[in-house]
C-alpha cells in the first residue's frame, strides 16, 4: 500500500489483494476478525481506497456483455486509464492556468495493475449508471447555468460544509484515508476529506424525526455476522452535491445502505447502495476494496482557512456580468 509521502509500488496489490476481494469472497466466510469487549468485530484502523481509482466507475464498452475477463485485459485497461489521465492533466488548454500538480493525487503514486473486476458499479448489471429523472436533469441544468449567481448554488464541498456521503466514501483524487474507531455502541468513520466524522450509532433504534434533514443523513448501524451494515435516511435536500458522475441533487427521499465486510486482516469489502427516486430512475450499487494502510497519516484539512474559492468565484461572476452589461450598452 502506498502512503501519501512514501512511494511504494507494490506489484502484488493487483495479484493478491484484488483476488481476496473477488475470488476470495467465499473464503471471507472462513476468516473471522477478533472481537472487541462489547462483541463488535474489530475493524478499527486506517483504511485507504485509493487503488480503486484505477477501476472505472462504469463498465467499459469493450467489455459489455461479457462475464469473464483476463488479468491481461484488465491490466491494459488500467494502464490506458492511468496514461490518459496523466496526459489530460499535463495538457493545458489556452488560457488555462493549470490545476493541481500530479504529485498531489493519490492514484499517481500507484502502479495501475488492474483488478479482478471491471467496474466499481455492480448494479445495474449493465455496468452503467442509471439516468437521472427529468426533474433532476432540469435542476442540474439550472445549477450549471446559474452556479455563481449566489453562494447557495455552489457545491457543498467548495463551501467547506460537506461533500456528502458519496464525496467521503468514493475513491477520489486525494485524501482517501479513513480512520475507523469503535467504542461500545458506536462506530466512527473519520475521513481526511474536509476533516469529517460520521458517528454511527449501533442498534440505536429508529432514525431521528422526519423533519430533521442532515447533510450526510442520519446513519444507524447493525451487525450481520461480521458485516457492519449502515442505513442512512433523513438527508437534507441539496441541489448541488458530489455524485459519481459530476454533481447531482440530494433529496429527502434518499436512502443509503453501506456494508463493511472484513475479508482478511488487511482488506475490507465496501459496498454502497443509493436509492433516491427523485434523482435517479433506479437504485444503484458500487463495491470496491479498502486496504489497511498503517503508513497513512491524516492531516487537518483546514478547509475554511484560506478558502478564497467562494468569494473569488462570485466576484469573478459579477465582473463578467458588469463587462457584459458594458458591452451591451456600447453596442446600442
Domain boundaries, the chain: 12-301, 308-332
Burial of 17 (0-12, 13-18, 19+ CB in 10 A): buried
What does pLDDT average to over the chain? 85
Q: Which of 250, 184, 195, 194 is nearest to 221 (CA)?
A: 184
Helix (H, G, I), strand (E, B) or coil at 209: coil
73-123: pLDDT as tens digits: 888 888 888 888 888 777 766 667 666 778 788 888 877 766 667 899 999
Q: Positive or negative, the Cα torsion across 76, 81, 86, 90?
A: positive
Q: Write out pLDDT tens, residues 228-261.
A: 999 999 999 999 999 998 889 999 999 999 999 9
pLDDT of residue 15: 34
Please give the average pLDDT of every successive group of 10 residues along the chain, which has 332 residues. Answer: 35 34 44 91 94 88 82 82 82 68 80 75 93 96 95 91 92 91 96 90 94 96 97 96 91 97 94 97 95 90 82 94 91 76
Amino acid at each position: 500500500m502506498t502512503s501519501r509521502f512514501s512511494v511504494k509500488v507494490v506489484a502484488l496489490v493487483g495479484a493478491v489483494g484484488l483476488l481476496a476481494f473477488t475470488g476470495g469472497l467465499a473464503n471471507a466466510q472462513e476468516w473471522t476478525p477478533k472481537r472487541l469487549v462489547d462483541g463488535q468485530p474489530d475493524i478499527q484502523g486506517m483504511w485507504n481506497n485509493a487503488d480503486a481509482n484505477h477501476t472505472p466507475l462504469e463498465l467499459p464498452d469493450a467489455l459489455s456483455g461479457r462475464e469473464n475477463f483476463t488479468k491481461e485485459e484488465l491490466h491494459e485497461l488500467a494502464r490506458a486509464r492511468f496514461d490518459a489521465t496523466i496526459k489530460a492533466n499535463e495538457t493545458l488548454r489556452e488560457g488555462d492556468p493549470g490545476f493541481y500538480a500530479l504529485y498531489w493525487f493519490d492514484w499517481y503514486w500507484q502502479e495501475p495493475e488492474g483488478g479482478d473486476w471491471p467496474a466499481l458499479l455492480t448494479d445495474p448489471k449493465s455496468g452503467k449508471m442509471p439516468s437521472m429523472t427529468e426533474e433532476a436533469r432540469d435542476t442540474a441544468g439550472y445549477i450549471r447555468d446559474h452556479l455563481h449567481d449566489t453562494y447557495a448554488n455552489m457545491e457543498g464541498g467548495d463551501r467547506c460544509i460537506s461533500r456528502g456521503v458519496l464525496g467521503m466514501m468514493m475513491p477520489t483524487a486525494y485524501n482517501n484515508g479513513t480512520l475507523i474507531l469503535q467504542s461500545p455502541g458506536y462506530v466512527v468513520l473519520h475521513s481526511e476529506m474536509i476533516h469529517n466524522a460520521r458517528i454511527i450509532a449501533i442498534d440505536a433504534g429508529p432514525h431521528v424525526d422526519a423533519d430533521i434533514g442532515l447533510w450526510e443523513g442520519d446513519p444507524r448501524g447493525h451487525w450481520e455476522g461480521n458485516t457492519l451494515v449502515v442505513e442512512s435516511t433523513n438527508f437534507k435536500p441539496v441541489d448541488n452535491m458530489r455524485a459519481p458522475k459530476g454533481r447531482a441533487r440530494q433529496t429527502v427521499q434518499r436512502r443509503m445502505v453501506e456494508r463493511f465486510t472484513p475479508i482478511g486482516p488487511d482488506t475490507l469489502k465496501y459496498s454502497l447502495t443509493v436509492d433516491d427516486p427523485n434523482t435517479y430512475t433506479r437504485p444503484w450499487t458500487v463495491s470496491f476494496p479498502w486496504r489497511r494502510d498503517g503508513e497513512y497519516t491524516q492531516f487537518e484539512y483546514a478547509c475554511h482557512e484560506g478558502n478564497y474559492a467562494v468569494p473569488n468565484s462570485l466576484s469573478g461572476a459579477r465582473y463578467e456580468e458588469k463587462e457584459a452589461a458594458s458591452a451591451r450598452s456600447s453596442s446600442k
